[in-house]
Copies of this chain bind each other. A is one copy, B any other.
Amino acid sequence: MSARPHSTIAEFPQSRTSTTCAACAAYDLSLCRTLSEAPLALQYSEYTVPARRILCRQHELLDVVPVICRGWAASIVMLSDGSRQILSFLLPGDAVSTALLFDARPYFMVEAITDVHYRGFKRSDVRTVLARQPDLLDSFCRTWAQATARADQLIVDLGRRTADERIARLLLYLAERLAQRGMTQRGTMEMEFPLRQHHIADATGLTPVHVSKVLSEFRRSGLIKISERSLTILDPERFQRIGHMR
C-alpha cells in the first residue's frame, strides 16, 4: 500500500470565534453543547482541517479531547505493513474516543474523511466537570457503553460474517446514525455519503477490490443506489435481511 504524503497534522487552532452551532447536526445529542455553553462554558480550541488530513497520530500524546462539529472522520489503526483497520466513523457530535479521557496516548490515529471542523476540550477540564456533575457523568458513561456495544458488534461482524453481510450492516448502521442526526433526506433512505470504497474496505476488513464487486452486485440487484457521494437504500427490507442472515 502507498504512503500518503499529504497527511500532515493539523497545527493551527483558529481564533475561538463563536461558531454557529446551529449548523451542528448533532447539537442536541452531543456533550459538546453541555460542555461549551453556560453554565459550564468550558474553554476549547476550534480547528478546521481539509479532507484526508490527520487530526491526531497513533501513540502521540494528546492533551485535548476532540469533538467533531462538522464533517466525517475515522479512527484508524495502522499496521506496520501499511494495512489499516477503521475502528469507528466519527460523525458530528461524536467525541473522538471516550477512553481518551483516561489514556492520553491513543493507540489509533484520527483522519478526516471530508473537511472537518472540530473542537478540542482540555482533558483535565472535562474530567473535573464530569467529577462534579453526576448527571453529566452518567450520560457520558451511557455514550461510552454504546461505543462498547458497537465495538463488540464489530468484533462479531469481522469474526463471523461474510463480506456481503459486513458491508450491508455497515451501510445500515451508518444510515441509522445519520438519520438520528437528521442527515438523511426526510422520509427517504437517501443521504450524503462521502466514504470512498477503500474506507468501507478498511472498516470491514476487506480489500477495496472486493468491496467494489460486492457493491456492484448490490446495485445490480436493486438494493442500493450509490454514486456521486450519495447513498440510497432502495429496498431497506431486503437489505436488512442480508445484514441479518445469521
Residues of B contacting A85 in the complex (Cβ-Cβ under 8 angstroms): 155-156, 159-160
Main secondary structure of the interface of A (DSSP, over half): helix
> How many whole Å from A39's CB to the nearest CB in chain B?
21
Residues of B contacting A152 in the complex (Cβ-Cβ under 8 angstroms): 77, 87, 107-108, 151
19 CB contacts below 8 A, A to B, read: A79-B156, A79-B246, A83-B246, A85-B155, A87-B152, A87-B156, A98-B148, A99-B145, A99-B149, A102-B141, A103-B145, A107-B153, A108-B152, A131-B134, A144-B144, A147-B148, A151-B155, A154-B155, A159-B204
Q: Which of the four size classes fits the interface of chain A?
A: 35 or more
A120 in contact (CB, < 8 A): no
Report copies per complex.
2
Distance in angstroms between the alpha carbons of A103 and B142 in the assembled complex: 8
Closest partner residue, chain B, to A97 (CB atom): B148
A215 in contact (CB, < 8 A): no
A80 in contact (CB, < 8 A): yes
| Given the contacts A134-B131, A154-B155, A83 and B160 also touching, CB distance less than 8 Å | yes
> How many whole Å from A24's CB to the nearest CB in chain B?
25
A158 in contact (CB, < 8 A): yes
Instruction: Type the 1/0 row for A128-172, where 1 means its CB is closer than 8 Å to any CB of B.
Output: 000100100000011011011101111110111000000000000
A-B interface, 6 closest residue pairs, ranked by CB to CB distance from nearest: A159-B205, A158-B158, A81-B246, A102-B145, A99-B145, A79-B246
Instruction: Given contact pairs A83-B246, A85-B159, A102-B145, enumerate 12 new A-B contacts (beta carbons under 8 Å).
Output: A77-B152, A77-B155, A79-B160, A101-B145, A102-B142, A108-B152, A144-B144, A148-B151, A151-B151, A151-B152, A155-B155, A158-B159
Residues of B contacting A102 in the complex (Cβ-Cβ under 8 angstroms): 141-142, 145
Q: Which residues of A from 117 to 135 have beta carbons under 8 Å from B?
A: 131, 134
